[in-house]
Amino acid sequence: MFALFQTIDLALNIYTWILIASAIFSWLYAFNVINSSNQFVNSVGTFLYNVTEPVLKPIRSRLPNLGGIDISPIILLLIIFFLRTLLWTTVYPLVA
C-alpha cells in the first residue's frame, strides 16, 4: 500500500514541475525570449500545453476576469499541495 501512495505522490510531484515549466515557458514565449519558429521549442510548447490545458481550462472558466493575469496555475498548485497533504496526513494513516 505504501508503494501506491508513493507512486501517486510522485505523479503529483512530476505534474507540479510540468505546471511550473509550462508557466515559465509561456512567459518566455510571451516576451519573445525564445524563438517560436524553432521546431524543438514548438514541440516543447505543444507538449506542455497539451498536458496542462485540460486541467487548467475548467479552473479558468470558474475564475473571474483579472485583466489578463492568469492565476489558474497557482490555484492548481494549491490544489495539488492540498491533495498531497491530504494523502499523507489523512488517507495513508487510515489505510496503513
pLDDT given for residue 96 in this prediction: 82
Place of cell 501517486: 8
Amino acid in position 14: I
Contact 6, 74 (CB under 8 A): no
pLDDT in tens, 31-82: 999 988 999 999 999 999 999 999 999 999 999 988 889 999 999 999 999 9
pLDDT given for residue 65 in this prediction: 87
- Nine cell digits for residue 72: 489558474
68: helix, coil or strand?
coil
91: helix, coil or strand?
helix
Question: Rounded to whole angstroms, how far apart are CA atoms 52 and 73?
Answer: 9
Any alpha helices (H) in the chain, and if so which ranges?
Answer: 2-30, 39-62, 72-86, 92-95
The answer to whether the pTM exceeds 0.95 is no
